[in-house]
Amino acid sequence: MSLQVVILAAGQGKRMQSAKPKVLHTLGGRPLLSHVIETVKKISTDPTPIVVTGHQSEQVKAAFAQADINWVYQAEQLGTAHALMQALPFLKDENRVLVLYGDVPLISVHTLQKLIASTPKDAIGILTKTIPDPSGYGRIIRDDLGRIQAIIEEKDLSDDEKQVHEINTGIYCFPIMHLKSWLPQIHDHNAQHELYLTDAIAIAAKCRVPIQSIKAESIEEILGVNDFMQLAQLERYYQKQKAIHLMKQGVKIMDPDRLDIRGHVKMGRDVTLDINVILEGDIELGHHCKIGPNVYLKNVRCKDHVNIQANCVVEDAVVSEHCQIGPFARIRPHTTLEDNVHIGNFVEIKNSIIANDSKVNHLSYVGDSEIGKRVNVGAGTITCNYDGAKKHKTVIHDNVHIGSGTELVAPLEIGENATIGAGSVVTKNVEPNKLTLTHALNQRSVEWKRPTKDNTEDT
């Protein structure tokens, strides 16, 4: 008997007050539905989940165009039972089906494996949770022997049933053969006038089909997202769990409540993350790396002993051993910094390779360039790489010294051991081992009196 998975993701998400489909809003940098699909891949013998969509279906499908998903469309949202009925043609009688939700992103692999393993093949498995305030949730109704008899939705509860604190999470494991006979029996005689999937439990009890339940380990893993407040609540929980995981691996995090991980991270030993660090995409930090406060890294690979100081932005870059960046530096995509490179404050690097032991320390822009070893780029240097239509390359060979305030007009090549005088505008290739100046050294002083402000003037 195989396990198939159906993910219900057809809801409109009206409380989000957003034009975007609810399941496409992000948690940890990824759509809510993406989290559920990733979990399914780890538990199901059938790697292709069935996803039931409805509201803005084409947007949802487009967001997962590369994923292996069997899409089912629910034209009218008439309730959870009606949604699951749309998937029945794709469910095999001899299998079981696990029912999940596209807006319940943090359900854990461990909990689902436990639910599946504890549910006999001919029984129903239900995930429940006992909470202090069950308001808003359907309740698990048991008989005197503790056997589940029904699930009653909040709006249909009697006063006595409202005292029950065991709630229904909506996550079930059903034998498909039974489900196909039960779903057509469900009616909409309830406060919502919807076809409740929960009614299948009462039918199962009458048919004396065993109903097995287990408790969810945390409330957060069963919480659905209905508005941005709930999304923010889950975001903080998710981030805290990521931080705890990293700290257990030996990462020093200055404040776990002020770290955001929006992708996949891999870290070596003795890494330090200061406050308000954001890690997005694929991040790899080697041993002994130090990331300062307010740093944003996206798709970055740092080798050992990298120090990125406060308020830096680094995207799609490789940073090699013993490099130092910042503070207030921006490393843009397609940049490689080789060993022991220093990038200083208010420096921007784009689409460039900077070789070992070179320095760009102050207020400079380097774009579309190859910089050799032991090059010193003076403060205020600009590579003028764009002519208004095309980008052009600057090549600077080893041991070059660029004076402050220099403009390098690409395409341009500067030979090994060359020196560029401060304030130069270089438009032609520079020969090796020479000093290049592009201005007349004609400094002079004249008599001059600085204007003074009249004290009677309004300041």
Residue 68, token pair as written in the block: 């292996």
**Which H or E element spans position 421?**
none
**Residue 187 is a catalytic residue:** no
| Of 202, 127, 222, 174, the residue nearest 5 (C-alpha) | 174
Residue 171, token pair as written in the block: 């996550």
Burial environment of residue 206 by CB neighbours within 10 A (0 to 12, 13 to 18, 19 or more):
exposed
Residue 394, token pair as written in the block: 């600057």
CB 263 within 8 A of CB 29: yes
CB 214 within 8 A of CB 115: yes
d(CA 133, CA 113): 27
d(CA 372, CA 358): 7
**Which H or E element spans position 199?**
helix 199-206
CB 54 within 8 A of CB 71: no
CB 391 within 8 A of CB 408: no
**Strands 166-175 and 96-101, bridge-based pairing:** antiparallel
d(CA 222, CA 108): 9
Catalytic residue among 165, 288, 362, 401: 362
List active site positions: 362
